[in-house]
Chains A and B, each alone.
Chain A
């Protein structure tokens, strides 16, 4: 996957993105099903009103019909907005591995965004947890990056192909420069040349 176009706040000019991982599609699929179900509610209400009330017939030119139409439209607009907000929340959450560090981005709302980072040399161990029937079949799980020192562990849940991500993280962490000794992974992509004087 070509990740040259990927840019995130705080990215260094010579930093190379090696991996960009979002949460599993199953999460957004579940939310889509929920919002589609909720968007059908006005139809169900009109249908039930028609069945339960004998003199009810939906006509948007009458005052009742216009009021129901406006109410249903307002409701659908709110559902539409909440769906979009859910999508933004899902899509902007990401785990990014670069040739220098691991960046975890968590979007929790419009004005609530958490960006945490960890340099590769501070990675002690990476563990994965796949718990439950669906995660096992669909192959997603929780990634836990244990860090050196007092820094909090990095936890990123519902990652697809969690085993492959773990392997990749460990590979780059193993070859990260430690204690001032410069080492580099044999297949690590080189940073693009910069035109700095």
Chain B
């Protein structure tokens, strides 16, 4: 089975969008109910900074890849017609 690298990148982007949405809600909760503690602000900044750094690092690492290529995955034959005891 051939999986285009662009499809894997699209799946990664979907995960990233989910992380951004849920992460933003967590940051909002932390800041709203954080009882005005500086720790909530510091931790939220660390979380946002860490996320940005991780995404940028990933983009830099995979930037040299050939995006028109596909990943070959060998899938076992599950056709019952080909079953050999």
Contacts and interface: CB of A to CB of B under 8 A. Distances in A.
Chain B interface main SS type = helix
Given A77-B51, A88-B29, A20 B35 contact: yes
A87 B26 CA distance: 10
Interface string A102-118: 00010100100100000
A73 interface: yes
B26 A73 contact: no
Contact of A61 (B50, B65, B70): B65
Interface stretch (A63-71, A138-146, A182-190): A63-71
Chain A interface main SS type = helix
Interface in B29-85: 29-30, 33-37, 39-40, 43, 47, 50-51, 54-55, 57-58, 61-62, 64-66, 69-71
Contacts of B57: 73
Interface residues of B, number: 38
Given A7-B35, A60-B65, A87-B43, A70 B58 contact: yes
